[in-house]
Amino acid sequence: MERADKEVSVAAMKEYYKQFDPRSYLRYNYIPPRADFTRTDSIVLLCLNLTDPVIVFHAIGDVHGRTLIDIGSGPTIYQLLSACEHFSNIIMTDFLEVNRQEIRRWLHGEPDTFDWTAFLQHACELEGKGWPEKAKRLRTAIHDVIPIDVHSPNPLHPYSLPELADCLVSSFCLEAVSPDRTSFQKALTNLGTLLKPNGHFLMIGALDESYYQVADGVHIPVVPVDQEFVSATLKSCGYEICTFQCYTLPQDMKGILLLIGRSRRASSHNVRAPLWKTKHR
Ligand SMILES: C[S@@+](CC[C@H](N)C(=O)[O-])C[C@H]1O[C@@H](n2cnc3c(N)ncnc32)[C@H](O)[C@@H]1O
């Protein structure tokens, strides 16, 4: 009975995501007034600063490797602007084909895609590098954009990883796709199968939210999580916590968490030959 309820619940979340329109989501969340680069307490600046290597390295040392998987990428690339300097094989993932399509369009430099210039410029200011080259480096580092379902025990099915990831990144995904805390925990367990022992999991998420807005009048429920729950869940999934920081953005009335964990699980995943050969499909 409990199991049947849960399936309905996860299924209900998938129904909600049928309303997700990438263009509206980008317009609503990633341009002013919500994405305001002139405000020092704006959410976008915080997120870019959090993924900056200075902060990550300060917390856990020099994180680098070959393969990084971005979980629930959506139609956004900002979360990978620093990562592309440290990982040569980035795989982006999302549940929705419309989001994967939006990313591919940006990767192929098609006209009328979202303008990430302000984000590129800010990341480059943090790193002291030129921004047009940054876009090129990111496009080069991204090797694929594939489907994912974090609620599946084999989240990338039918794709098989040629090698486990050195690092997983996820921004505003797990709490926004899980109907309840149990599903959140299961999703985290499922994702653990993609990561090498000692690999890192970097997560940015919303604290204590019950919904988020995809566009005017379109809301998607979010499971409210707090530091205590996320930290206990991470530990129960076999991670050591390297850093866990919480921020409050008074103007947006939002709480944001940055968390970096290191996997202490022994490898049990059956890595098979790669199924994908082409870039970006
Ligand atoms: C709030 S958006 C976050 C997008 C992006 N990472 C960001 O920082 O803006 C949540 C994303 O999770 C994706 N998603 C929905 N259901 C999912 C599932 N079952 N497994 C993985 N991702 C899912 C959605 O399509 C959406 O792109």
pLDDT, tens digit, for every residue of 89-142? 999 999 999 999 999 999 999 999 999 998 998 888 877 777 788 899 999 999
Mean pLDDT of the chain: 86
Any residues with Cβ below 6 Å from ligand 1, and which? Answer: 17, 20, 72-74, 76, 79, 94-96, 99, 148-151, 171-173, 176-177
Which pLDDT band holds residue 75 (cuts at 50, 70, 90)?
very high
What's the angle, vertex CA 136, arms to CA 134 and CA 141, rounded to 5? 95
- Distance CA(142)–CA(90), nearest Å, equals 4
Task: Domain ranges for the chain, please list them.
Answer: 2-263
**Which atom of ligand 1 is found nearest the CA of 220?**
1
What's the angle, vertex CA 186, arms to CA 182 and CA 191, rounded to 5? 150
Work out the average pLDDT over 186-192: 97
pLDDT of res. 3: 42
Beta bridge partners of 87: 65
Contact yes or no for 48/123 (Cβ under 8 A): yes
**DSSP string spanning 132-195?**
HHHHHHHHHHEEEEEE--TTSSSTTTT---SS-EEEEEEES-HHHH-SSHHHHHHHHHHHHTTE
Best residue among 10, 92, 94 to mutate for probing ligand 1, ranked by most atoms within 8 Å of CB: 94
Which is more confidently placed, 2 or 225? 225
**Which atom of ligand 1 is found nearest the CA of 152?**
19
Tens-digit pLDDT profile for residues 269-281? 544 444 444 465 5
Quick one: which of 30, 65, 61 has its CA closest to 45? 30
Alpha helices in the chain (DSSP H): 2-16, 22-30, 43-51, 53-60, 97-107, 117-127, 131-141, 174-177, 181-192, 227-236
CATH class of 2-263: alpha beta
Q: What is the chain's alpha carbon radius of gyration, rounded to the nearest angstrom?
A: 18
pLDDT of res. 86: 87
| Strand pairing class (239-249; 254-263) | antiparallel
* Percentage of residues of the chain with pLDDT beyond 70: 85
Checking if the pLDDT of 191 tops 60, the result is yes
Checking if the pLDDT of 268 tops 90, the result is no
Tens-digit pLDDT profile for residues 23-64? 999 998 898 887 787 877 777 777 777 666 555 555 555 667
In the reported structure, the alpha carbon of residue 100 is separated from the centroid of ligand 1 by a whole-number distance in angstroms of: 11
Count of residues for the chain?
281
pLDDT of res. 98: 98
